[in-house]
Structure 1
Amino acid sequence: MSQAIRIYVADLAAYNAGHLHGEWIDATLDTDDIQTQINAMLASSPVDGAEEYAIHDYEGFNGYSLGEYEGIQSAHKIACFIEEYPDFGGELLAHFNDLDDARQAAQESYCGCHVSLADYAQELTEETSTIPQHLAQYIDYRAMARDMEYNGDVFTLETGFEQVHVFWNR
């Protein structure tokens, strides 16, 4: 079960008057629905004439730091990207800090989740080469993985124990 991707939108007039007033909102909802919830929260403000708001907290963004004044459109797009790629979306976005670059990497450069980069190097080698049985034990896949990373051929995102997401640098 994945964590909900949501934002806490705070009423700035109430905040400045010493009141905590806001609402947790699902950031993957349509932006019109998000705005409707914000408008309802502001209408129920303990301070008359409340109209300004800010994102004061968030959860489910998995490694990506959402800015306080990110904007609802931007927060929504980021949330939808993370929802589309729940295993690594937040970490990938944090790596690039650009939604278009992160989307391109996810769609064009993703090589899967592996136990380690060495595991991926072994899989790639065995899929693309015929290795004579008498030489197989002499191949150092950890060294191959290290060289792939040092040469800038790939980058990895480690999202958990033995969860290494591999991407080609293109």
Structure 2
Amino acid sequence: MSEEIRIYVADLAAYNNGKLHGVWIKACDDLDVIKAQINEMLAKSPEGFAEEYAIHDYEGFSGYTLSEYEGGELLNHFGGDLEDARTAAEENYCGCYKSLADYAQELTEETTQIPENLSYYIDFERMGRDMDLSGDVFTIEAGYETVHIFWNH
């Protein structure tokens, strides 16, 4: 497997008609270069009316599970800056949880000894919300009870 960070961008018009047509692109290239490569691939579509594309594969993201949606949201969060998105994925990724409250509870229980008689009074929903509002973390919701959480360093 290559150490290079790459994405495979597929032509959805071709894909939906049972044909594989796409291109491997260096994910650290300038956003304009990436867009140009995608447009060139779409222009050569065997379907002739290709407009839509999706990330169907990737490599070199150091164990971070990337999908079309989460990858796009992560890039959007950083205004298309691939280096900042890469740093977030590699160094600041906390994991995938059902909610921010679940993450706040896990973090609290791993770092603090909570007396059992006080545990009923802790509001993890509020703790999670405060982490988000204060800017300590940011989240990418990927679906029902699926939230990716990142430290905002």
TM-score normalized with structure 2 length: 0.64
Q: Name which of 136, 142, 152 aligns with 1:159.
A: 142
Q: Identify unmatched segments of 5+ residues in structure 1.
A: 10-22, 45-54, 62-75
Assess if the C-alpha contact under 8 Å between 1:81 and 1:89 holds in 2.
no
The one-letter code sitting in structure 2 at the alignment partner of 1:26 is G
The Cα offsets for residues 64-122 of structure 1, whole Å up to 9 and x where unpaired, read as xxxxxxxxxxxx9xx65789632432221122121111000000100000000000000
1:92 alignment counterpart = 74
Helix, strand or coil: the match of 1:27? strand
The one-letter code sitting in structure 2 at the alignment partner of 1:6 is A
Measured at CA, do residues 125 and 166 of structure 1 come closer, stay the same or move farther in structure 2, by a change above 3 Å? same
Measured at CA, do residues 152 and 84 of structure 1 come closer, stay the same or move farther in structure 2, by a change above 3 Å? closer
TM-score normalized with structure 1 length: 0.58
Confirm whether residue 26 of structure 1 aligns to residue 30 of structure 2. no
Note the aligned Cα RMSD (angstroms).
3.5
Q: Name which of 53, 57, 64 aligns with 1:58.
A: 53
Assess if the C-alpha contact under 8 Å between 2:9 and 2:25 holds in 1.
no
Distance 1:86 1:116 in 2: 19
Assess if the C-alpha contact under 8 Å between 2:9 and 2:23 holds in 1.
yes
Give runs of ≥4 in structure 1 deviating > 4 Å: 79-84
Helix, strand or coil: the match of 1:143? helix
- Superposition deviation, residue 146 in structure 1: 1.1
Confirm whether residue 168 of structure 1 aligns to residue 151 of structure 2. yes
Distance 1:148 1:120 in 2: 10
The one-letter code sitting in structure 2 at the alignment partner of 1:85 is T
Bigger Cα Rg: 1
Q: Name which of 7, 10, 19 aligns with 1:6.
A: 10
Confirm whether residue 128 of structure 1 aligns to residue 111 of structure 2. yes
Q: Identify unmatched segments of 5+ residues in structure 2.
A: 1-7, 14-18, 27-36
Distance 2:94 2:21 in 1: 33
- Superposition deviation, residue 57 in structure 1: 2.7
- Superposition deviation, residue 29 in structure 1: 7.0
- Superposition deviation, residue 24 in structure 1: 6.0
Distance 1:81 1:162 in 2: 27
